[in-house]
């Protein structure tokens, strides 16, 4: 059950002046990411990658590579130990190293380790491969056509990874009752994470530091730490025998897959008895992308703009395979409306393209592009303000939607005009758009333990890979708040061996912080008891403040936290609080339940002569329920807006249709946004205390970008729907100028 908003007075939560626990290490360059790790006698690995979109190895001659001086290991796909490993990772249909490649750049066939990276590359060049080049399919729709090449014939003979069909009410009846029916197509291109650190795996085996039988594998985690269980499963190791070398992983942005390297590198290290490093090139790191999405939407609505029925048919691609069973947006977002009749039919397909990843939850079913577009189309047809149409339709406008709408409109200076009706003095067309999305908290099974030590500090062991959401720092504020401790007295204790205090993603912080609160309350009860004992009163007579236990009747009588425990032999060495359980969430689409929302607004100017457009302002009005750490919270909202601008303008994986080769696998060609692409943006944080997390908070980070607001603004400006990325040629083509 969602926690009821409880605490009203906050002394620590919400402060902006407590820097991140890792910020100094990061800013001074001392933070070690997997790619930074250098060990004495470290070998360098390279893995064969397919130059073809789909191919099988007919024969493989590695003799020259094996004979090359400096080469220390050559492991082929048919190696018995490799073949005995379970399938590559969650969602995978292929072995760790296969003789079959299913996308250009796929790692397969053989992996080598050598004294230098150059020698490893030379070794790969010396491998003689006889290829069986096979037909391939790139497009999700094409994957379903009869006769299409089948990627995983044993597992999925029809290229269908999954289907998700459901119906609320009866859409056919709903359409009959509707005064108006419109249909439109929505398209989402494949775009990538562009992880800041190209994937790098470093592994080494060492004797157990305590002399216990069996070596310990030290290796690098991935975002969400999935690199570790991938290795543990492969080598059938006890849980404590696989340990992360570092907790820094670079940007995760929801791309959490372990790669094949998570098992190949430990294997090479095992065979050679030396540390091994495998570092992807930037080109190789273009190996995952968000889903390609085609949705055909049919919407029935009345003349007042109220939606009666919606039906969506979606075909979306997981790429070559996906770690998520559901990896595409659809029309689930219509469950945020009052429409009783909603039908969804989604088919997830396999294609010979980059592996499906989750990308800041942009493709999560709650993504609401299709709803945003429907609202604007309905408004255009009825000559109504789309803001009014949305408010008529959204099922629970109070307080969150109404507040986001009100604050967002004010910040963007929203003055509605009909489609294509506002030409600016500079000759450009003006448009404004918005989209609505829920601010969900995942909720998860988690555990948190906190301990008061004799130095007066409260230690919060934190075991997650650090991917940049300041989650551990937000939880530390909650712990300090509940304990009555000074903020600086709660120490985030980076403990890679601990899986206490684990965070999956940005939307998980508020619910994990709930666990932090409960653990702190458990500890506080013990502190009060110990403090009361020290003051020779009853626990009910004391309370905590500024890391002391004080007598309520006479606050001058107090004892510091640190005095309650002692390092003396026989003394109480620490006081600990603990909580474990399912943390709350705030959404359940099957029952049309959702918590606080966020609304993004975009204002654009479109040059109809050149086809170029600029986002002149963007506003993210985000109801976080209760904001735990405002600066990093706003950073997530800002990040989502900047992603939206970058992806609206440039980002798309472009595959050569003839060969299936990715054509734009570099920063220059893929064009992730820079500071100059960042137009004025404004993050507005709102607090309705209606979220499922601690204090009624909700998630942020994973639901902060999508296509809706900018697409709708472009439509408002020129009356045309243009698929992302919205490039000048597409604009001019839509306007009939080319």
Note the residues at the interface with another protein (CB under 8 A).
17-24, 26-33, 35-36, 38, 40-41, 69-70, 114-116, 118-119, 193-198, 248-253, 279, 281-282, 466-470, 488, 631-632, 635, 638-643, 646, 666-668, 672-676, 678, 681
CB distance 245 to 502 below 8 Å? no
Structure token digits, residue 404: 């986001």
CB atoms within 10 A of CB 157: 9
Three-point CA angle 119, 100, 120, nearest 5°: 5
Q: What are φ and ψ of residue 356, in 5° steps? A: -70, 135
- Residue 253 bridge partners (DSSP): none
d(CA 233, CA 106): 22
Query: Closer CB to another protein, residue 240 or residue 567?
Result: 567
Residue 332 Cβ vs another protein, minimum distance, rounded to whole Å: 26
Residue 241 Cβ vs another protein, minimum distance, rounded to whole Å: 27
Query: Closer CB to another protein, residue 573 or residue 672?
Result: 672
Q: What are the contacts of 26-33 at 24+ separation with CB within 8 A?
A: 31/248, 32/246, 32/248, 33/197, 33/200, 33/246, 33/248, 33/249, 33/250
Residue 564 Cβ vs another protein, minimum distance, rounded to whole Å: 20
Reduced 3-state DSSP string for 452-510:
ECCCCCEEEEECCCECCCCHHHHHHHHHHHHHCCCHHHEEEEECCCCCCCCCCCHHHHH
Residue 27 Cβ vs another protein, minimum distance, rounded to whole Å: 4
Chain centroid to CA 299: how far?
Answer: 30
Query: Closer CB to another protein, residue 82 or residue 253?
Result: 253
Residue 488 Cβ vs another protein, minimum distance, rounded to whole Å: 5
Residue 407 Cβ vs another protein, minimum distance, rounded to whole Å: 19
d(CA 392, CA 409): 16
d(CA 620, CA 643): 12
CB atoms within 10 A of CB 167: 13
Residue 358 Cβ vs another protein, minimum distance, rounded to whole Å: 15
Query: Closer CB to another protein, residue 307 or residue 363?
Result: 363
Residue 248 Cβ vs another protein, minimum distance, rounded to whole Å: 7
The 8-class DSSP code of residue 89 comes to S
User: Sheet of 613-623: strands edge to edge?
Assistant: 429-438, 597-606, 613-623, 681-686
d(CA 109, CA 50): 9
Residue 428 Cβ vs another protein, minimum distance, rounded to whole Å: 22
Query: Closer CB to another protein, residue 84 or residue 667?
Result: 667
Residue 567 Cβ vs another protein, minimum distance, rounded to whole Å: 17
CB distance 693 to 511 below 8 Å? yes
What is the DSSP track for 322-371? BSSS--S--SGGGGGBS-SEEEEEEEEE--SSSEE--TTTTTSTT--HHH
Counts of helices then strands in the chain (DSSP H, E): 17, 28
Q: How, if at all, do strands 43-49 and 276-279 pair?
A: parallel
Reduced 3-state DSSP string for 561-597:
HHHHCCCCCCCCCCEEEEEEEECCCCCEHHHCECCCE
CB distance 332 to 293 below 8 Å? no
What is the DSSP track for 135-166? ----SHHHHTSTTPPPSBTTTBTTSEEEEEEE
Query: Closer CB to another protein, residue 387 or residue 627?
Result: 627
Query: Closer CB to another protein, residue 586 or residue 646?
Result: 646
Query: Closer CB to another protein, residue 467 or residue 561?
Result: 467
Residue 467 Cβ vs another protein, minimum distance, rounded to whole Å: 5
Please tell me whether residue 17 adopts helix, strand or coil conformation: coil
Residue 253 Cβ vs another protein, minimum distance, rounded to whole Å: 7
Residue 485 Cβ vs another protein, minimum distance, rounded to whole Å: 14
Residue 121 Cβ vs another protein, minimum distance, rounded to whole Å: 12
Query: Closer CB to another protein, residue 143 or residue 645?
Result: 645
Query: Closer CB to another protein, residue 655 or residue 670?
Result: 670
Query: Closer CB to another protein, residue 45 or residue 681?
Result: 681
The 8-class DSSP code of residue 732 comes to H
Query: Closer CB to another protein, residue 189 or residue 639?
Result: 639
Query: Closer CB to another protein, residue 463 or residue 660?
Result: 463
Query: Closer CB to another protein, residue 398 or residue 546?
Result: 546
Query: Closer CB to another protein, residue 198 or residue 696?
Result: 198
Q: Quick one: which of 282, 275, 351, 343 has its CA closest to 309?
A: 343
Residue 340 Cβ vs another protein, minimum distance, rounded to whole Å: 39
d(CA 173, CA 311): 12
């Amino acid at each position: 059950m969602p926690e009821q908003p409880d605490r009203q007075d906050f002394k620590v939560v919400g402060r902006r002046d407590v820097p991140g626990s890792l910020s100094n290490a990061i800013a001074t360059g001392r933070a070690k990411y997997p790619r930074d790790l250098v060990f004495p006698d470290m070998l360098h690995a390279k893995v064969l990658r397919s130059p073809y979109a789909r191919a099988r190895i007919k024969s493989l001659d590695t003799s020259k590579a094996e004979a090359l001086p400096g080469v220390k290991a050559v492991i082929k796909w048919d190696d018995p130990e490799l073949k005995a490993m379970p399938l590559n990772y969650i969602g995978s249909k292929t072995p760790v190293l296969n003789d079959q490649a299913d996308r250009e750049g796929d790692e397969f066939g053989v992996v080598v380790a050598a004294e230098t990276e150059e020698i490893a590359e030379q070794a790969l060049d010396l491998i003689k491969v006889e290829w069986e080049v096979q037909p391939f399919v790139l497009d999700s729709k094409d994957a379903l056509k009869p006769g299409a090449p089948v990627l995983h014939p044993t597992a999925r003979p029809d290229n269908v990874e999954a289907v998700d069909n459901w119906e609320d009410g009866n859409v056919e009846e709903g359409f009959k009752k509707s005064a108006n029916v419109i249909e439109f197509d929505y398209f989402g291109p494949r775009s990538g994470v562009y992880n800041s650190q190209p994937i790098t795996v470093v592994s080494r085996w060492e004797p157990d530091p305590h002399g216990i039988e069996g070596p310990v594998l030290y290796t690098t985690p991935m975002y969400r730490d999935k690199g570790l269980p991938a290795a543990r499963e492969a080598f059938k190791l006890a849980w404590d025998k696989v340990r992360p070398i570092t907790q820094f992983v670079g940007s995760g942005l929801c791309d959490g897959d372990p790669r094949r390297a998570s098992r190949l590198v430990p294997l090479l290290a095992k065979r050679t008895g030396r540390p091994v490093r495998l570092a992807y090139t930037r080109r190789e790191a273009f190996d995952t992308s968000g889903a390609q999405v085609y949705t055909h939407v049919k919407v029935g609505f009345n003349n007042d703009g109220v939606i009666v029925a919606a039906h969506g048919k979606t075909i979306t691609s997981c790429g070559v395979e996906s770690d998520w069973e559901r990896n595409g947006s659809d029309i689930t977002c219509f469950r945020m409306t009052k429409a009783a009749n909603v039908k969804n039919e989604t088919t997830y397909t396999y294609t010979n393209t980059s592996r499906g990843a989750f990308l800041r939850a942009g493709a999560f079913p709650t993504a609401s592009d299709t709803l945003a577009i429907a609202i604007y189309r309905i408004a255009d047809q009825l000559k109504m303000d789309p803001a009014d149409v949305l408010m008529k339709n959204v099922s629970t406008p109070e307080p969150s939607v109404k507040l986001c709408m009100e604050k967002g409109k004010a910040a963007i200076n929203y003055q509605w005009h009909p489609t294509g009706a506002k030409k600016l003095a500079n000759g450009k067309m003006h448009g404004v758009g918005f989209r609505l999305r829920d601010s969900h908290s995942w909720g998860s099974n988690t555990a948190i333990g906190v301990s008061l030590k004799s130095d007066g500090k409260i230690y919060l062991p934190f075991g997650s890979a650090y991917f940049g959401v300041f989650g551990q720092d937000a939880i530390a504020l909650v712990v300090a708040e509940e304990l009555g401790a000074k903020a600086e007295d709660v120490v985030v204790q980076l403990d890679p061996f601990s899986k206490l205090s684990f965070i999956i993603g940005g939307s998980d912080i508020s619910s994990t912080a709930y666990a932090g609160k409960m653990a702190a309350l458990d500890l506080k009860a013990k502190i009060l008891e110990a403090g009361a004992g020290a003051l020779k009163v009853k626990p009910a007579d004391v309370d905590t403040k500024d890391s002391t236990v004080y007598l309520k009747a006479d606050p001058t009588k107090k004892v510091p936290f640190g005095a309650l425990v002692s390092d003396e032999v026989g003394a109480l060495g620490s006081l600990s609080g603990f909580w474990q359980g399912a943390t709350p969430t705030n959404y359940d689409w099957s029952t049309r339940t959702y918590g606080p929302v966020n609304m993004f607004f975009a204002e654009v100017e479109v040059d109809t002569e050149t086809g170029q457009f600029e986002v002149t302002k963007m506003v993210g009005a985000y109801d976080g329920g209760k904001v735990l750490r405002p600066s990093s919270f706003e950073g997530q909202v800002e990040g989502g807006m900047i992603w939206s601008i970058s992806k609206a303008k440039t980002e798309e994986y472009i595959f050569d249709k003839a060969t299936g080769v990715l054509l734009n696998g570099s920063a220059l060609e893929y064009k992730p946004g820079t500071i100059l692409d960042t137009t004025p943006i404004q993050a507005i944080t709102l607090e309705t205390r209606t979220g499922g997390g601690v204090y009624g908070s909700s998630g942020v980070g994973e639901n902060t970008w999508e296509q809706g607001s900018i697409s709708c603004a472009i439509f408002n400006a020129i009356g045309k729907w243009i698929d992302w990325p919205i490039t000048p040629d597409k604009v001019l083509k839509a306007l009939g100028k080319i």
